[in-house]
Amino acid sequence: MGAGRTASDVDEHTPVLAAEALAGLALEAGGYYVDATFGRGGHSALILQALGREGRLLAIDRDPQAIAAGERRFADEVRLALVHASFADLRTLVPEHAEHRACRGVLFDLGVSSPQLDDPHRGFSFRGDGPLDMRMDPTHGEPVSAWLARASVDEIRQVIASFGEERFARRVAQAIVARRRERPLASTAELATLVAGAVRTREPGKHPATRTFQALRMFINDELGQLERGLRGALEALAPGGRLVVITFHSLEDRLVKRFMQRESQVDPALRKLPVLPPRARPRLALVGRKTRPGEAELARNPRARSALLRVAERLP
Ligand SMILES: C[S@@+](CC[C@H](N)C(=O)[O-])C[C@H]1O[C@@H](n2cnc3c(N)ncnc32)[C@H](O)[C@@H]1O
């Protein structure tokens, strides 16, 4: 815990682009909505405020701690279903909780929450020291330390280069493999120091291990694979006129979202020349507005919003 922080600070997350996300969802008081990334419920609380008695919200998170915190915060909220699951399974989760309602909107607010980043025991942060874990869902898969203990130099290099866009990926990978010959690499502080020694240049305002930590986190949680499945599931689950709102924090994530929305908002190129378009060739999404970034006021209040980017699309009949 950093200077001046209290336990309750660590359990809070300031919702990013909140007004813009709510406007993007075009909330109807009696509608059924999905918060695919509950976190600490910042966006969910605002959605519930805008919904009437008949409205319903399904909120999902793959982190059991997020769900436990949500159950405490929203213990009396009968309009909310809080589920420990991955948004990769939206295709089945949304109808399961629909109670015969049509889904009017799905919100994704990607990346990690402040409590995940700030709790050294989760192993996401190079500030502070903790076990080298980095799983959003510690009940599945393996900690990143287990993968780093067996992956080849080339596999580690490739992950750090592609997800972290780290120029010194090979040097970092070599340093990791050299160190593990002496002893297993088990702590975040150990990895951060090792990376700082391998990365030659210093980017202003950025810890030298930022790119490596981000890359390993994206890899061990299969964040891009999950996102691809989540977007496809949301598209299947949304009713015509329903809104898809996505907030990203990384250029690779945003590229995936942008391409998905573009592809689904065009006629299938392979079938474009047919005299009569079959239904499956028609666009399934319409883009709504332009991409949005946080304004100066939000950035001054919440520096963690700095790389956020929001895109909105509407499900077509
Ligand atoms: C940026 S936080 C969301 C914060 C939230 N909007 C709020 O205002 O409190 C992202 C959350 O998404 C969750 N998450 C990431 N990938 C997920 C996935 N594939 N399925 C479900 N939840 C996921 C993380 O565990 C984290 O709690």
Task: Write out pLDDT tens, residues 69-83.
Answer: 999 999 999 999 999
Asked if residue 280 has pLDDT above 60, the reply is: yes
Which residue's CA is the closest to the ligand 1 atom numbered 20? 86
Task: Write out pLDDT tens, residues 170-197.
Answer: 999 999 999 999 999 999 999 999 999 9
Q: What is the dihedral of CA 26, 28, 29, 30, to 10 degrees?
A: -140
**Rounded mean pLDDT of the chain?**
94
From the list 205, 74, 174, the residue with the least C-alpha distance to 59 is: 74
24 lines ligand 1 (CB under 6 A): no
How many A from CA of 109 to the centre of ligand 1? 6
Residue 10: pLDDT band with limits 50, 70, 90: low
Which residue's CA is the closest to the ligand 1 atom numbered 24? 112
Residue-level pLDDT at 313 = 98
Residue pair 34/44 in contact by the 8 Å Cβ criterion: no
Task: Write out pLDDT tens, residues 32-53.
Answer: 999 999 999 999 999 999 999 9
Residue 205: pLDDT band with limits 50, 70, 90: confident
84 lines ligand 1 (CB under 6 A): no
14 lines ligand 1 (CB under 6 A): no
How many A from CA of 41 to the centre of ligand 1? 9
